[in-house]
């Protein structure tokens, strides 16, 4: 059964068994595009204790990644953030300030700085990534048309600083891996070049593992997980499955709207 912690462990073990090494987002450098590497990322949208469970699995496997926490109460859980950091993982800010400010750029940049400092009161933060905010008409990345995140000490925002034509971006958004179903904004910014992900179509974690074993997958990969979607509890698994079945068609409509706004 997909999206269980058992499958989660198997996926990472398959990458490791086939010669991939893991890096956090803050450890990624341009020379790694040519190597067999997994850039490990997690968006902690809600249910933070599930993120601690995935962090523990990764720690047991000897790998570390980046965990991006939102500032809202559903995500920002200081004890869990500290526990995950203690395992060797990076903590970053999963910002959504433009959506929270309802499009007010000045308010958004003010709260971005305030929220970033809340994280930095705990640990140094050098990378941040936008939260898709699928129910909002505002793309949080558009803040950076007017401001510069590097002025806040952020060295990497993956959607801007990683070349998705040279790195395969795989995300479990929508409980699939093809980046098409139920994915409103969790994708590369508009580009004149086709992203590497356009060449692949994985519907399940099993599909990804089979491609690894057959060497039918790229060498340089970013894996983006939403840990709230992964569980071994049968009741929770069924709830997540049913909710996602309802959400995906709605998010498909929102995706069309977001794409139209991004192309304007």
pLDDT digits (tens, 9 = 90+) for 51-109: 999 999 999 999 999 999 999 999 999 999 999 999 999 999 999 999 999 999 999 99
Q: What angle do CA 221, 226, 229 make, to 5 degrees?
A: 125
Range of the domain at 97: 5-263
- Residue 207, token pair as written in the block: 């599909």
Query: SS3 of 7, please?
Result: helix
Band (249; pLDDT cuts 50, 70, 90): low
Top mean pLDDT of 38-47, 166-175, 177-186 is at 38-47
Band (50; pLDDT cuts 50, 70, 90): very high
Say what percent of the chain tops pLDDT 90: 80
Q: How many domains does the chain have?
A: 1
Top mean pLDDT of 88-102, 189-203, 233-247 is at 88-102
Burial class (CB in 10 A: 0-12, 13-18, 19+), 79: exposed
Range name among 1-5, 26-30, 133-137 with the lowest pLDDT average: 133-137
What is the pTM assigned to this prediction?
0.91
CATH at 60: 3.20.20.370
The conformational region for residue 209 under phi > 0 = left, psi -120 to 50 = alpha, else beta, is alpha
Start-end of H helices in the chain: 5-17, 48-61, 78-86, 97-100, 105-120, 158-161, 205-213, 234-263
Give pLDDT, residue 133: 86
Check whether 224 has a pLDDT greater than 60.
yes
């Amino acid at each position: 059964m997909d999206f269980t912690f058992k499958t989660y462990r198997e996926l990472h073990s398959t990458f490791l068994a086939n010669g991939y090494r893991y890096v956090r987002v803050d450890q990624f450098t341009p020379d790694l595009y040519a190597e067999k590497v997994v850039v490990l990322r997690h968006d902690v949208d809600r249910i933070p204790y599930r993120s601690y469970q995935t962090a523990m699995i990764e720690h047991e496997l000897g790998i570390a990644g980046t965990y991006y926490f939102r500032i809202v109460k559903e995500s920002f859980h200081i004890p869990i953030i500290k526990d995950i950091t203690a395992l060797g993982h990076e903590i970053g800010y999963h910002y959504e300030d433009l959506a929270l400010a309802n499009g007010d750029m000045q308010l958004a940049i003010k709260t971005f700085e305030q929220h970033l400092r809340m994280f930095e009161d705990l640990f140094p933060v050098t990378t941040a990534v936008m939260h898709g905010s699928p129910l909002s008409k505002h793309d949080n990345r558009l803040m950076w048309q007017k401001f510069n995140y590097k002025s806040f000490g952020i060295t990497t925002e993956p959607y801007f600083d990683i070349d998705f034509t040279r790195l395969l971006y795989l995300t479990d958004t929508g409980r699939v891996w093809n980046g098409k179903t139920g994915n409103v904004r969790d994708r590369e910014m508009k580009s004149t070049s086709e992203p590497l992900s356009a060449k692949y179509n994985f519907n399940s974690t099993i599909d990804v593992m089979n491609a690894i074993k057959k060497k039918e997958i790229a060498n340089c990969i970013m894996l983006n997980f939403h840990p709230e979607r992964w569980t071994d509890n049968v009741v929770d698994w069924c709830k997540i499955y049913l909710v996602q079945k309802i959400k995906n068609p709605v998010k498909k409509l929102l995706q069309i709207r977001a794409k139209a706004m991004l192309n304007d």
